[in-house]
Each structure stands twice: as C-alpha cells, then as structure tokens.
Structure 1
Amino acid sequence: MDQSRISILLVDDHEVVRAGFKILLSAQPFIGEIRDVNRGELVAQEYARMQPDVVVMDLSMPGIGGLETIRRLCKQAPDAVVLVYSIHDEFVYVERALQAGARGYVSKNSAAEMLAEAVRTVAQGKRYIEQQLMPEVSDVRHSDIESYREVVDLLSPREFDVFCRLASGMTTHEAASDLCLGYKTVANYNTKIKSKLRVNTAAELANIAVVLGIVKP
C-alpha cells in the first residue's frame, strides 16, 4: 500500500454509486488504494484486513445500517476515521453520525470536489462538516436544539433508523422490508420508540420528526 497517499474503504449498498465514487476519487493525486463493500456487516472484517486511512460511509443501507456500523467500527477500532457521505442533509443526522464516531459529514447533494476535499481533511485528523448542513444559530432556538438532542440521545442507532422510517409515513411492514428486518422485530422497536418518546400514535412520531428536521413539514 502506498503510504504517501490516502487509502479508502467505500461502504454503500448501490454498485453504481460505489463505481462512481471510485472514478471520482481515483482521479485525485492524493488518493491511493480504494476498496468497497456493499453492507455494514462486512465493514469490520474488511477494515481489519485493509486498515484504510478513511472509511467513506453511506447511512441508508439494508441490514445494520450506517449509524450502527459506525458505532461498531469505532468501538472495534477507536482510531478509525469515518466520513459520512449521505443523501440525508438534515442536521440531526450529522449530529447522530458524530455521536456514533464519524469525523466528517458531506451530503450527496454537494459538489463532487467537496467529497475529495473532505477525505483529505479527515485523513489529516481534522473534522469536516459541510457548511450547508450546519444550522444557522439565528434560525434555531436553543430550546429546539436541546429538545432534539434529548430525543436523539434516547434512541439506539437501530431505533433511530426505525423511527425515521415510521415518522416519514412508512408502515411497519414497509420499514421492516426496507431495513431487512422481520415484521415483529420492527413492531417491537416501534413500541419501544413510542415508549421512550412518550407518544402513542404515528402522527405524534411524525410531529417529532418535523421538529427535528428529519421530515419536511
């Protein structure tokens, strides 16, 4: 492995996306070896084998999902450098990813050059958060920030995944299919989530998600 260049492990369940990432990043002179896996369950093993400088991680994947993958990887390898590259551009996802152990966050709506710059920045031991994802202090009340932080802290990574899907209007069956989980498993999560958030209905879940910025009103 060329130690003068940055090695990368790509984690995304879409083959076309991974191929596009490889083309984009390989064009950068400071990028070295790039390997990829298509789900979170494969990350720990591939990371141990490759020891990459940076892990570029999607969040929305079947199975354990990106947030739980980050948490497990950072527990296994505290020095792991994870950069999230996700379609989710709400700040609550940024905060959740950082809490799990990520060093940076870039949305897939950003310019292609930004991903490369983010990779280089986090590889240098710095944090990189796309500026567009940071909330304007003048637009966000302190009480609102504290409220969504409290809610985020109440949910486990998997509960958060289920919460986001149910709050966006998915049925329990649809959420189970999307997460590759059994119906009863998601139903149990649904019960635990409502208990933690002290709500009884899907409408109340949706309202909380709107406050957090996860679901657009």
Structure 2
Amino acid sequence: MSTPPIAATAVSIVIVDDSEVVRAGLTALLSSSPQIKILSEAGDVAGGVATVLHHKPDVVLLDIRLPDGTGFDACRTICRANIDTRVLILTSVADEEMVDNAIRAGAHGYLLKEINGTALVQSIVDIAAGKSILDPAITARVLSLVRSNTPTTRNLIDGLSPQESRVLALIAEGQTNKEVAQAMNLAEKTVKNYLSTVFEKLHVTRRTQAAALYVQSQSSKPI
C-alpha cells in the first residue's frame, strides 16, 4: 500500500520517546495520515531538545520518562527557546501531579498512549492550531478522586465571580496561565491571583482538581 501524499498544510512533528518500538509505532501510524509530516525523532532529553531546536516542528510529541531527565525538562527548555513549536505530552502516566507538572512546564496538551490513531492525529492538528488538549480519561480520574468530597459542586462553581468563572473555564480547556492571560487581556500575575481565589473557593489545591469540578458542574447543568 502506498503512503498517502502529504498535504500542503500538514503539521510537522518530532517524536521524542525512549522506546524505539514506540517511536517506530508512532511513525508508522502517523505517516499514514496526509495531515502529519514527521521530521525526525529522538530517544532522550538532550537529543529531543537538539532535534526540536534544529527542525523547529509545529508540534513535538514528548514522553515524560526519558533516560537523561524528564519530558518536563525538555518541555521547559523548548518553551524558553522562543520558537513556535507546541508541546504535546504523550505518555502512559495518568497522574494528577504529572498533569500539573506538564502544565507548569508549558505543555499545550497531555494525552495518554491508549488514545486511538484518529483521535491522536486530530489532537496534533488541534494543538498546532493553537488549542490546548487534556485527555478526557485524566479528567474522569481526577473527578473520581474529588467527587466524594464535593457534594455541592454546582453551588461552589456558582459562587465564583464572572471573571473567576472565565479563568476556570479556560483552565478546564487545558490552557496555561500565559494563554489565559492572553485570552482575557490580563497580566499573568492577575491570572495567578484569580486562580488562588478559585482554589480557595472550591476547596482544592491543584488546577486539575478545579478543572475536573468545572467539567462536572457543566455536565450536571439542566438542559
């Protein structure tokens, strides 16, 4: 079977994963899509950062567990390089603290490797287009941890001011503080202050918990 021609507007990517098997699998999977153009791959932080800075892809698929550091280390370095590459964490780790670390490092998305090929391609395209992505499975797992402690979630959300609600809605979409600040025309420090107030009002300590509560409140709204 011949490989489909690459579209003129295909999203260029670099794959960074310590597993050669995973890299080969992703390459085989994504190469079948005309929407994706794979530029290169790497198996560690040093190689990943060097490859990304050289090729300047639209998106880098980045694993967390790497032999010479973490994906967060690579993410921070890439984000500080002032290039247009957007970072999509692709990992097998479904952990609330890891999601927090990824967001704080500047990642634009966090997906689990159990995602199917069609959804992965669409997520890469969405990330390249400026969207932020958070795996639905992660939101569901965080909800399962906080739901028993939040019997009045709807009331808690309703207690937020319009600005606080807007900040929370954007955080629930997976946006970073910087992206929220840009979207709302606010200083990044102001967004941090809003978040501190939101956390206090919702009785949570992490942005993933706040985002999960927001998602729960929206799903419970009457139609």
Give the TM interval when normalised to the shorter protein. Answer: 0.5 to 0.7
Q: How is 1:37-52 mapped onto 2 (pairs within 5 angstroms)?
A: 37-52=42-57
Checking the alignment, whether the CA contact within 8 Å between 2:18 and 2:44 is kept in structure 1 is yes
For residues 19 and 61 of structure 1, the distance between their equivalents in structure 2, rounded to whole angstroms, comes to 16
Match of 1:138 in 2: 147
| Stretches of structure 2 lacking an aligned partner (at least 5 in a row) | 1-5, 151-201, 208-223
| Structure 2 residue 107 is matched with structure 1 residue 102 | yes
In structure 1, C-alpha distance between the alignment counterparts of 2:72 and 2:149, rounded to whole Å: 25
Separation in 2, partners of 1:62, 1:115? 25
Amino acid at match of 1:111: N
Q: Residues 102-130 of structure 1: CA distance to partner in whole angstroms, max 9, x if unpaired?
A: 10011112223222121111011100111
Given that 2:86 and 2:127 are in contact with CA atoms closer than 8 Å, whether structure 1 keeps it comes out as yes
* Number of residue pairs aligned between Structure 1 and Structure 2: 147
Identity over the aligned pairs, expressed in percent?
29
Among candidates 92, 110, 116, match of residue 111 of structure 1: 116
Q: How does 1:106-185 map to 2 (within 5 A)?
A: 106-134=111-139, 135-136=142-143, 138-139=147-148, 142-143=202-203, 145-146=204-205
Of residues 22, 28, 31 in structure 2, which corresponds to 1:23? 28
Structure 2 vs 1, CA of residues 76 and 110 (structure 1 numbering), >3 Å: closer, same or farther?
same
Give the whole-Å Cα distance in 1 for the aligned partners of 2:63 and 2:83: 19
The change in CA–CA distance for 1:140 and 1:102 in structure 2 (over 3 A counts) is farther
Query: 1:32 deviation in Å?
Result: 1.6
Kept in 2, the 8 Å contact 1:43–1:73? The answer is no
Distance in 1 between residues matched to 2:43 and 2:63, nearest whole Å? 10
Tell me the distance in 1 between the aligned counterparts of 2:148 and 2:64. 26
Output the TM-score relative to the length of structure 1: 0.62
Task: Give the partner amino acid of 2:122.
Answer: E
Q: In the alignment, which residue of structure 1 is the partner of 2:154?
A: none
Contact kept in structure 1, 2:7 and 2:34, CA below 8 Å: no
Q: 1:115 to 1:138 in 2, by over 3 A?
A: same
State the secondary structure of the residue aligned to 1:125.
coil
Q: What displacement does 1:79 show?
A: 3.1
Q: Secondary structure at the match of 1:35?
A: strand
Report the CA distance shift for 1:61/1:23 in structure 2 as closer, same or farther (over 3 A). Answer: same
The offset of 1:2, in angstroms, is 7.0
Question: RMSD over aligned Cα, in angstroms?
Answer: 2.1
Q: How big is each residue's C-alpha offset from its partner over 1:139-187, in whole Å with a ceiling of 9 and x where there is no partner? A: 46544x31x57xxxxxxxxxxxxxxxxxxxxxxxxxxxxxxxxxxxxxx
- Residue 59 of structure 1 pairs with residue 68 of structure 2: no
Distance 1:121 1:25 in 2: 15
Residues of 2 paired with 1:91 and 1:2: CA distance?
36
User: How many angstroms does 1:98 deviate by?
Assistant: 1.1
